[in-house]
Amino acid sequence: MSNNQFTRDYYENGIETGISCYTNYRWIPELTIPMAMTMIDYLGITPKHSILDFGAAKGFLVRAFRLLHRQAWGCDISQYAIDCADSLTQEFLKTSTPESIIPFDKFFDIIIAKDVLEHIPPNDLGSILKLMASRGKRLFVVVPLGENGKFIVGAYHLDKTHLIAESMEWWVAKFNEAGYSLLSADYRIPGIKDNWARFPQGNGFFLLESI
């Protein structure tokens, strides 16, 4: 996975250029703040908990958590996306590098990886998951699901950086191999990715705890 893939075109002209599902990727508070509140309720996040948004892009989820008085930080491989964050969120974001994938010197109560892990080359996934297990107590993952390399939600194939289209069982096995115990696995959490609710098994929602 290369930073060179997640450029301005990826976020602003992805549909037009045929490289992603994004066009004019922007802060929409009426969508992101309720989603952050859903995560707070579902995960039991209190103001004392520390959160890392792994793959934070422009920092919108971090911004929403901060507005809801939660301690959130974020990292992303895209320097372009990090540079686009608003001035108040910028101080809580850092760019991930191959040498420092989680560029914060702290242990988090929960790491959130929403729409991120499917971008990671399968051969690198295990090491990334083990790293996250060593840096966070719990991990909340949201990924698109597939079968035999094909996504259940066909639109996910529009993103050329999507590399993993596998089943819920496949993901659970990978999490177990990386040292996580499974607390829950669901196809649907109302309030998160509601726009794909018409595909009952199109997405996986996993809550995990490092052993």
Encode 58-80: b = buried (16+ Cβ within 10 Å), e = exposed.
bbbbbbbbbeeebbbbbbbbbeb
- Does residue 20 contact residue 159 with C-beta atoms inside 8 Å? yes
Alpha-carbon gap, residue 150 to 156, rounded angstroms: 9
pLDDT band with cut points at 50, 70 and 90 for residue 2: low
What pLDDT is recorded for position 3? 62
- Does residue 151 contact residue 165 with C-beta atoms inside 8 Å? yes
- At 17-35, the pLDDT tens digits run 999 999 999 999 999 999 9
- Does residue 101 contact residue 128 with C-beta atoms inside 8 Å? yes
- At 48-80, the pLDDT tens digits run 999 999 999 999 999 999 999 999 999 999 999
Residue 52: other Cβ atoms inside 10 A? 25
Q: What is the DSSP string of 139-192?
A: EEEEEE-EETTEESSGGGGG-TT------HHHHHHHHHHTTEEEEEEES--TTS
CA angle 46, 49, 50 (to 5 degrees): 140
The token duo for 47 is 């103001």
